Structure 1
Amino acid sequence: MAAASSETDKCPIDKGLDPNDNSLDAQAERYRASPTRRTVFFYNDWRRARSTNRLWRAMRTIPESQVFGQIVSECSVIVLISIAACLLQLHGLNWLAVNLSFFSMGLPCLSLLIVFRTNSSYARWDDARRILGASLNRSRDAARQAVGWFPKTPQGQILKERMMRYVQAWPYSLKCHLRGGPGGCEDDDNLKETLAGILTPDEITLLLQSSHRPMHIMQCMTEIGREGNLPIPAQINLDQNIAAFSDVVGGCERILRTPIPLSYKRMTDRFLMLWLIGLPFSLAMEVTKAGFSVWMTLPVISLTSFLLLSIEEIATQLEEPFSILPMGPYADTCRNNVDGLFV
């Protein structure tokens, strides 16, 4: 079997987005689809992550941050509003200002909304990560059982190799299933190209004709196990692994198709934006009363908006985890592990 390609996590994003679309949303989707976004850590990566200059490196790369790129328009609008608030304060037109204690009272509520939103999004990401990890373990187990239990006859060897091919194809079909669909960044051409070195042309054709590719592969594995006339304990164990694959698909589809309640997200976003829009008017008045230059409002508002909007943006990115999880490297690992059983 061929070695796994290092390019499998590339996502043909232009097939799902207009290549001429240079909007911030399109740029963000292309970034989320890039292989460098979906990282798998090894020892050297951990050394760099805990290096003594990690904090300065994080500060230095703020302009390159995708999170910053996503919120720069909102931050710019809030800064412009802050400039308007400063000008109004300079001309004594502070009728839009509200006592700063109003914002102080609202801050705990806003903090709780943002924290709950971030925790919920991280829980979804962690759940998806655990599900994919369980899928990898089950793939290894199914491949091990195929090597150990299929008879050493010519027919048994043919069935064993078919089973191993489908075990290798399983994570790639799952990746395409979760990232495909209308507007998705995976399509049939991408899946066909990826599986060309794993399945036979006839097997790929049958797979692409199925409306649910992971289920098709599970059915093929079930039929191979039945044709192999395996011992009853081996059949039971193999079927348990195939059933676990079905649980993986169900768990991933649950995360993908059921977002955090939209009313909760909208309320958090509205609360956050209204709080940030109103804060400059009150802060400009308080800064002036304290004897400082009214323009001190700008750096305070800029930093506050950057921090709060960054947290909200991170929560948004984590909510749908399959576009940022390294599903390609997961699939490559499965493929390499199965290849290793033939050594």
Structure 2
Amino acid sequence: MIVYETNKNWLRDISHLARSWTMTKIMRAVLAVGVFTAILCVIELTWFNFMGMSNATGIFSLLGIVLSILLVFRTNTAYDRWWEGRKQWGALVNNARNLAIMAQVTFPHEQKEERVRMATLIANFCIAFKEHLRKGVKLEELIHLSPSDKEVYPKLNHVPAYISTQIHDLVHSQYRKGTITPYDWLNFKPEMKSLMDILGACERIKKTPIPFSYNVYIKLFITIYVILLPIAVIPEFGFWSVPIVMLVFFAFIGVQLMAEEIEEPFGLDCNDLPTGDIAHTIKNNVFEILDARTVPSVVHHEYEKVF
């Protein structure tokens, strides 16, 4: 995710676009449309005069308004998915800290090993969570795995769910031993349950993309619009039609591709959520809260694929 300060450096912010992979795709498409429009200009103005549609610009203005409305809806839908993902990860930060605080105040102080185990499980849940939403959990990123963990985790299809089960088991074992009260156990349950609720909400975002037919329809509309637009503007603007058509296409395809980039916010694109940094922030927080700092708390920065 790109972190920047609003209203501080206008030109520097714009310069970042030159290194964006999405912008690279946009510019390639815009240049192709510019070449196509230039060829039509040469054919129309130099050799032939069979595409005279000087009164068609009004029609394309109306079509442009329709297309703009569709793109606004498309962008808003994509941003809603991005923002919902951010809210879920914000809730994960709060709930993980609350779970660690409850363990800190209820687990007996002499149970240092259990505190470290709780901090490790919460941290590993968040680290596994971020990769589960990508291409699968990377076991080498998980910390302080026990021999049984190293044996079991590679066989699992859903590592975060199993780690959540281990958290429940650790708390329930404290309840069975009588080291925490029934009221403590009841207070633990909502915080533990919230971990899987948040994971399920993020899985819903990832596994339910924008309907394919709707996405294809907008792309088809943009393509047809840009192919026919030169026919309407060349008789009136001549070779100036080339930059005009390129600018119109730049606006439309830019909005569409930006929406496609943010609609699945858990990857490594430059505008995706910094889930790696958030997960490792939680790791450091829970080790500190549970006073388990005898285990090194490493500050990690996951450098997303910025540009």
For structure 1, the residue ranges without an aligned partner over 5 or more in a row are: 1-37, 181-186, 288-293
| 1:93 is the counterpart of 2:48 | yes
Superposition pairs of residues 190-339 of structure 1, within 5 angstroms = 191-195=138-142, 197-229=143-175, 230-287=180-237, 294-323=238-267, 324-339=272-287
Residue of structure 2 equivalent to 1:12 = none
Residue of structure 1 equivalent to 2:113 = 158
Given that residues 44 and 51 in structure 2 are in contact (C-alpha distance below 8 angstroms), is that contact kept between their aligned partners in structure 1?
Answer: no
Given that residues 67 and 314 in structure 1 are in contact (C-alpha distance below 8 angstroms), is that contact kept between their aligned partners in structure 2?
Answer: yes
SS of 2:133's equivalent in the other structure is helix
Name segments (4+ residues, structure 1) moved above 6 Å: none
Q: Structure 1 residue 71: deviation in Å?
A: 1.7
Bigger mean CA deviation after superposition, 298-307 or 216-225: 298-307
Q: Structure 1 residue 237: deviation in Å?
A: 1.8
Q: Which amino acid aligns with 2:284?
A: N
Q: Structure 1 residue 96: deviation in Å?
A: 4.0
Superposition pairs of residues 182-197 of structure 1, within 5 angstroms = 187=136, 191-195=138-142, 197=143
Alpha-carbon distance in 2 for matches of 1:212, 1:60: 41
Given that residues 207 and 217 in structure 1 are in contact (C-alpha distance below 8 angstroms), is that contact kept between their aligned partners in structure 2?
Answer: no
Alpha-carbon distance in 2 for matches of 1:317, 1:173: 23
| 1:129 is the counterpart of 2:129 | no
Alpha-carbon distance in 2 for matches of 1:97, 1:309: 27
Q: Once the two structures are aligned, what percentage of the paired residues are identical?
A: 27
Computed over aligned residues only, the root mean square deviation of the Cα atoms, in angstroms, reads: 1.8
Q: Which amino acid aligns with 1:252?
A: C
Q: Structure 1 residue 94: deviation in Å?
A: 4.2
String of CA shifts for 1:18-50, please: whole Å, max 9, x gaps.
xxxxxxxxxxxxxxxxxxxx24x4xxx43xx32
Q: TM-score, normalised by structure 2?
A: 0.86
Alpha-carbon distance in 1 for matches of 2:193, 2:254: 40
Alpha-carbon distance in 2 for matches of 1:204, 1:138: 26
Q: Structure 1 residue 316: deviation in Å?
A: 0.5
| 1:173 is the counterpart of 2:145 | no
Residue of structure 2 equivalent to 1:32 = none
Q: Structure 1 residue 61: deviation in Å?
A: 4.1
Alpha-carbon distance in 1 for matches of 2:49, 2:194: 64
Q: Structure 1 residue 95: deviation in Å?
A: 3.2
Q: Which amino acid aligns with 1:193?
A: E
Superposition pairs of residues 2-151 of structure 1, within 5 angstroms = 38-39=1-2, 41=3, 45-46=4-5, 49-51=6-8, 54-91=9-46, 93-96=48-51, 98=53, 99-151=56-108
Given that residues 88 and 198 in structure 2 are in contact (C-alpha distance below 8 angstroms), is that contact kept between their aligned partners in structure 1?
Answer: yes
**Structure 1 residues 320, 97: closer, same or farther in 2, change over 3 A?**
farther
Given that residues 133 and 206 in structure 2 are in contact (C-alpha distance below 8 angstroms), is that contact kept between their aligned partners in structure 1?
Answer: yes
**Structure 1 residues 103, 94: closer, same or farther in 2, change over 3 A?**
farther
Bigger mean CA deviation after superposition, 198-207 or 97-106: 198-207
Alpha-carbon distance in 2 for matches of 1:57, 1:305: 24
Given that residues 166 and 199 in structure 1 are in contact (C-alpha distance below 8 angstroms), is that contact kept between their aligned partners in structure 2?
Answer: no
Given that residues 100 and 286 in structure 2 are in contact (C-alpha distance below 8 angstroms), is that contact kept between their aligned partners in structure 1?
Answer: yes
Residue of structure 2 equivalent to 1:3 = none
Alpha-carbon distance in 2 for matches of 1:86, 1:62: 30
Q: Structure 1 residue 220: deviation in Å?
A: 0.4
Q: Structure 1 residue 209: deviation in Å?
A: 2.0
Alpha-carbon distance in 2 for matches of 1:92, 1:66: 39
Paired residues, number: 281
Given that residues 146 and 164 in structure 1 are in contact (C-alpha distance below 8 angstroms), is that contact kept between their aligned partners in structure 2?
Answer: no
For structure 2, the residue ranges without an aligned partner over 5 or more in a row are: 294-307
SS of 2:145's equivalent in the other structure is coil
Q: Structure 1 residue 247: deviation in Å?
A: 0.8
Q: Structure 1 residue 77: deviation in Å?
A: 2.1
**Structure 1 residues 89, 58: closer, same or farther in 2, change over 3 A?**
farther
SS of 1:301's equivalent in the other structure is helix
